[in-house]
Structure 1
Amino acid sequence: MLLILNGPNLNRLGLREPGVYGSQTIEDLERQCEAWGAELGKAVTCRQSNYEGQLLEWIQEAQEQGFSGIVINPGALTHYSYALRDAISGQPLPVVEVHISNVDAREEFRHRSVTAAVCRGKISGLGFLGYRLGMEYLIDRENGVGA
């Protein structure tokens, strides 16, 4: 079972800066991730919160809830949340960081991720497809394929 976490402001997908994030909603993203999970033979649970503490708790509880990996879009927390970084590094599950937009082609403050260094990898700028690629990586890793 995979856990898909979305951080602050991702509940505003489809409304917030559609030129950057597109016109699809968080509900569209969650349906797509669930469909990809079904296609890949893996149950998927999607969660979104604007609250850092809630994300921390979900990460900390993930293994005991039966998840085998986490795909996370930390939103703006990417750039400054050492608490989120510590939660990721303080638990044993593999984590893939994803971003819908190409954060390296945006404002300077978005170029630094404090969370990426404790994740298995980072996918940026591929839209919703980045979530699927993160899911595929986690499934392949669980099955002993690749790094």
Structure 2
Amino acid sequence: MKIVMLHGINHNMFGKRDPVQYGTITLAEIDAGLQSLGRELGAEVECFQTNHEGEMCERIHQAFIDQADAVMINAGAWTHYSYGIRDALAILTCPIIELHMSNIHAREPFRHVSVFADIVRGQICGFGADSYRLALRAAVSAVRGDGA
């Protein structure tokens, strides 16, 4: 089972930016944790981060070409306005899990809206770094056909 984890804009700064919202964990630590949990769950997790919207779209296209079993995405601020990324995600035929470390519904009003919401399997937010682990469990479950 191959699962692609897509990290969006500014996520390379985890551990340095706004510890109140994002804690002190680094992106490298998040990725290592996902890959370790993935091995336990029988999944290979490939992680990708970019600050460039076009590169994110190209990586989503590659996930389609490679026939990824599931895609997890924390697009950061792009979540709220990037119809380009939304349209790229809509090409996918596998389950898509949207996730966020912070509770986007308890933050500034512009963050309450996700332009991806109507095309993803589900959304996990507000659990800090645990949002990633919860999302991976949800992705594996979706691929296996467990639950609804």
Query: What TM bracket, shorter-length normalisation?
Result: over 0.9
**Cα distance in structure 1, aligned partners of 2:145 and 2:104:** 30
Give the equivalent residue in structure 1 for 2:99: 98
Taking the TM superposition and a 5 Å limit, the aligned residue runs for 1:1-147 are 1-147=2-148
Q: Which runs of 5+ in 1 are unaligned?
A: none
- In 1, Cα distance between the equivalents of 2:112 and 2:139? 24
What is the aligned-residue RMSD (CA, Å)?
1.0
5+ residue gaps, structure 2, are none
Q: Structure 2: how far apart are the matches of 1:142 and 1:112? A: 26
Q: Percent identity?
A: 41
Alpha-carbon distance in structure 2 between the residues aligned to 1:39 and 1:3 = 16
Displacement after TM superposition at 1:139 (Å): 1.3
State the Cα distance separating 1:66 from its structure 2 match: 4.0
Q: Deviations over 1:65-111 (max 9, x none)?
A: 24200010010000000111111112212110000001111111111
TM-score normalized by the length of structure 1:
0.96
Deviating beyond 6 angstroms after TM superposition, the runs of 4 or more aligned structure 1 residues are: none
- SS of the residue corresponding to residue 5 of structure 1 reads strand
Aligned length: 147
Q: What amino acid sits opposite 1:78 in the alignment? A: T
TM-score by length of 2: 0.95
Q: C-alpha separation between the residues in 1 aligned to 2:70 and 2:145?
A: 14
